[in-house]
């Protein structure tokens, strides 16, 4: 899929991996719609994107069907919606049983799964419906969807039960989604990042971050958002990539803690 002249929605696009991806797509000629929370700096991020396209911010919670529908309508009003990159997510840690013996609040587990898994699917279903309704490109493609999972889907650590479950769900639905949408010319792939330099990770103490970076075999550092963005762009442009989950982690395999 050539981003030039296409419209792209990037969820969680106001910062981190999403902002880097939005910038990369804009550089390649896409019109970018940043879908992020109303409280995010989405408007400023959209205004800072390169190119002459009318980039815009669509405030929405990915779990809100009506708000996502409005964001997709805003995207399709600007041209053919060909690209969706799902970067929105949260990561609230918590053990199943706390030190005081109390069980994890069910609402804590449900919130993480709700944002990361159900929210991702909510945006996919609405955006995919818009993609399927469009005329295909000369190559027969109508759209491409790139989701964000995590290496925690495969080797989640202590305290990551909710996060790993949510990201594992994204991994698990990648192939069936790709198969569901294959006849319509829409591809679906997932990137599973390792430890990246994002606002979520910056909240950790420096000694924790240093230890995590040292555990990455090569290169022994955090991933950069532009490295995620480069892979997301490649997935968009490589027509033969479909139904795949790609780890982007410097050969990291997470220890139990």
Residue 211 burial by Cβ neighbours in a 10 Å radius (0-12, 13-18, 19+): exposed
Q: Where are the domains of the chain?
A: 7-248
What's the predicted TM-score (pTM) here? 0.95
Q: Do residues 41 and 15 touch, judged by C-beta distance below 8 A?
A: yes
- Would you state the pLDDT for residue 117? 98
Active-site option among 121, 163, 196, 228: 163
Examine the residue annotation and report whether 240 is marked as an active-site residue of this protein. no
Cis geometry, peptide bond prior to residue 152 (ω within 30 degrees of 0): no
CATH of 7-248, one of 3.40.50.300, 3.65.10.10, 3.40.640.10, 3.40.50.720: 3.40.50.720
Q: How does pLDDT run along the chain (257 residues), one tens digit per residue?
A: 999 999 999 999 999 999 999 999 999 999 999 999 999 999 999 999 998 889 999 999 999 999 999 999 999 999 999 999 999 999 889 999 999 999 999 999 999 999 999 999 999 999 999 999 999 999 999 999 999 999 999 999 999 999 999 999 999 999 999 999 999 999 999 999 999 988 777 767 788 788 888 999 999 999 999 999 999 999 999 999 999 999 999 999 988 88
């Amino acid at each position: 899929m050539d981003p030039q002249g296409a419209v792209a929605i990037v969820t969680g696009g106001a910062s981190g991996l999403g902002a880097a991806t939005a910038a990369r797509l804009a550089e390649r000629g896409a019109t970018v719609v940043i879908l992020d929370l109303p409280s995010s700096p989405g408007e400023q991020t959209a205004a800072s994107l390169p190119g002459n396209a009318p980039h815009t911010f669509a405030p929405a919670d990915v779990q809100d069907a009506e708000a996502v529908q409005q964001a997709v309508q805003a995207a399709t009003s600007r041209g053919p919606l060909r690209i969706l990159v799902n970067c929105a997510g949260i990561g609230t840690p918590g053990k199943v049983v706390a030190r005081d013996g109390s069980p994890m609040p069910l609402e804590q587990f449900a919130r993480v799964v709700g944002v990361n898994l159900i929210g991702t699917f909510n945006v996919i279903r609405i955006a995919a419906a818009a993609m399927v309704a469009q005329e295909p490109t000369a190559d027969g493609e109508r759209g491409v969807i790139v989701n964000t999972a995590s290496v925690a889907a495969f080797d989640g650590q202590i305290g990551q039960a909710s996060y790993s479950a949510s990201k594992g769900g994204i991994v698990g639905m990648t192939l069936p989604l790709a198969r569901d949408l294959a006849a319509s010319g829409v591809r679906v792939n997932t990137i599973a990042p390792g430890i990246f330099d994002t606002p979520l990770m910056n909240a950790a103490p420096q000694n924790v971050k240093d230890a995590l970076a040292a555990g990455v075999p090569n290169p022994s550092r955090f991933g950069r958002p532009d490295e995620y963005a480069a892979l997301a762009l490649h997935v968009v442009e490589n027509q033969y990539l479909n139904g795949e989950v790609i780890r982007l982690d410097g050969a990291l395999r997470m220890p139990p803690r």
